[in-house]
Amino acid sequence: MKSKRPLRLSVLLIAAMAFPGCNEDAAPVELNPSSLTEAQRSLQQIDQLYESDPAAALDAAQRLRPKLDELNHLITRVETSPNHYVEFYDLQPGGILLAERGPAGDGRILSESGIADHSAVELYRQLTGGATPPEALVKAERLVTPPDDAHVLARDEADPNLKSSGAFALDRGAQRGDGLASVTQSLGSGDGVVFRDQYCFKAGDFFNCLPNITGDTWASANSKSSFTRLAPYRGSMRMQVSYDNAVKGAWATFAGEEWSFRQLSGTYYPCPVWQACGTQEYYLRTHRWDVLDAAGDGYHFSYAFRSSCSWIGCDNPP
């Protein structure tokens, strides 16, 4: 078997050459991580690099993306307008994760009427003008796991286990004002009111709205679906999702971007195997969202978890 060391060394050397202005003592960004854990370290390096050289950090994130897509189990990505994407991930044993990213204030496709109610396959067709969806997406949406009686919780027996970081830090450096800025412009530090009124989740079994905060924060709940929105306006940070107490995905986010996520639990048929079920149901599983590497950065953040919903009703943002 041939050694993989030369390839790994070449990737490190390319990264080092790409950032000649960096601190010479800093470790080069690993652009070919072998695991999601290793990729997390690469994202931390990119966050540190952003403080001294934002252009180099953005370039490193772009170079890392193909490998990160693989480790995050990306199925497909649709560019709906320049630099605006809707992404489909298969985070088994969890359900499909949808992510939308683009310039802040560029509009939110996943929240538009007529789109939010679609299945992932139908959404792909609508976004692409009727293109045939990838087989991997069709397969992921059809996947139904056998009911596990030891873990399937009845709604009235479920412990919601609602948790969050709680003591988040307000961004004291944010520009504040009573006027509402236009949502067609980037969401800046002075747009906390806009984010609160037009972007934040206002319902769900567990939800919160956190405009103008800084530092790391997180939220977790036993739920069937969960939703988050993140709009950094200063610095860079890492978004991380966990399902059933295991980290499943991570992304680098930067000032001027807006991200939206929807995570679904795995599904099962809520009836004995010898009966025909007309509907499916989502497992109650632990969903957790973390905003990391955010010390000194500024951002708007909102989350919502749904546990008391039933089947397709769980798909829609509250």
The CA dihedral of 74, 76, 78, 83, to the nearest 10 degrees, is 30
- Spacing of C-alpha 120 from chain mean position: 16
Alpha carbon of residue 163 to chain centroid: 18
Identify the residue with better confidence: 97 or 278.
97
Query: What confidence tier does 280 reach under pLDDT thresholds 50, 70, 90?
Result: confident
Neighbour count for residue 17 (Cβ, 10 Å): 9
- Residue 205 confidence (pLDDT) above 80: yes
| Residue percentage of the chain with pLDDT more than 70 | 77
Report whether pLDDT(224) > 90: yes
Q: How far apart are CA 155 and CA 163, in angstroms?
A: 18
pLDDT band at 312 (very low <50, low <70, confident <90, very high): confident
User: What is the per-residue pLDDT across 1-44, written as a single tens digit (0 to 9) for each?
Assistant: 444 444 443 444 344 444 444 455 567 999 999 999 999 999 99
Q: Which of 64-73, 136-145, 148-157, 203-212 has the lowest mean pLDDT?
A: 148-157
Higher-pLDDT residue of 276 and 54 is 54
Instruction: Report pLDDT digits (tens) over 163-187.
Output: 787 656 788 766 544 332 333 345 7
**Higher pLDDT residue, 74 or 108?**
74
Mean pLDDT computed over 310-315: 86
Per-residue confidence (pLDDT) for residue 113, from 0 to 100: 54
pLDDT of residue 290: 97
Give the C-alpha separation, 313 to 318, whole Å: 10
pLDDT score, position 187: 72
The reported pLDDT for the residue numbered 149 is: 52
Identify which of 1-15, 55-69, 82-96 has the greatest average pLDDT. Answer: 55-69
113 contact partners, CB below 8 Å, separation of at least 6: none
First to last CA, the chain: 52
Q: In whole numbers, what is the pLDDT of the chain averaged over residues?
A: 83
Greater confidence (55 vs 186) lies with: 55
Q: What is the pLDDT of residue 110?
A: 82
- Each residue's pLDDT tens digit, 127-156: 999 999 999 999 998 886 665 554 554 443
Neighbours of 66 (CB within 10 A): 11
Query: For 87-107, what is the mean pLDDT?
Result: 90
Of residues 225 and 106, more confidently modeled:
225
Which amino acid, residue 67? K
Which helix (DSSP H) or strand (DSSP E) does residue 14 occupy? helix 5-18
pLDDT at 161 over 70: yes
Side-by-side strand order, sheet with 246-254: 163-164, 217-223, 285-292, 236-243, 246-254
Name which residue leads in pLDDT, 115 or 93: 93
104 in helix, strand or coil? Answer: coil
pLDDT over threshold 50, residue 157: no
